[in-house]
Amino acid sequence: MHDKLFENQSSLSSANYSKWAGELGLNAATFSACMSSNDTTDDIKGDISDATAIAQGIAAQQVQFGGTPSFIIVFEKSGDNYNKVRAAIEQLRQVRPDFFGFAEDKADSAKFAAVVVGAQGYSTFKQVLDAGAA
**CATH assignment of the domain containing 103:** 3.30.70
**Domain coverage including residue 121:** 44-133
3-state secondary structure 7-40: HCHHHCCHHHHHHHHHHCCCCHHHHHHHHHCHHH
Separation between Cα atoms, residue 91 and residue 124, nearest integer Å:
11
**What pLDDT is stored for residue 24 in this prediction?**
92
Shared-domain flag, residues 54 and 9: no
**What pLDDT is stored for residue 81 in this prediction?**
95
Shared-domain flag, residues 89 and 105: yes
Per-residue pLDDT 10s for the chain (134 aa) are 888 888 988 999 988 998 999 999 999 889 888 888 888 888 888 888 877 777 776 665 556 666 778 888 889 999 999 999 999 999 999 998 888 888 887 777 888 889 898 889 999 999 999 999 97
Prediction pTM value: 0.61
Shared-domain flag, residues 15 and 51: no
Shared-domain flag, residues 67 and 126: yes
In the chain, how many domains are there? 2
CA atoms within 13 A on the CB side of 78: 8
Shared-domain flag, residues 26 and 86: no
Residue among 87, 93, 91 nearest 112 (CA): 87
- What is the strand order of the sheet 100-104 is part of? 70-76, 111-117, 100-104
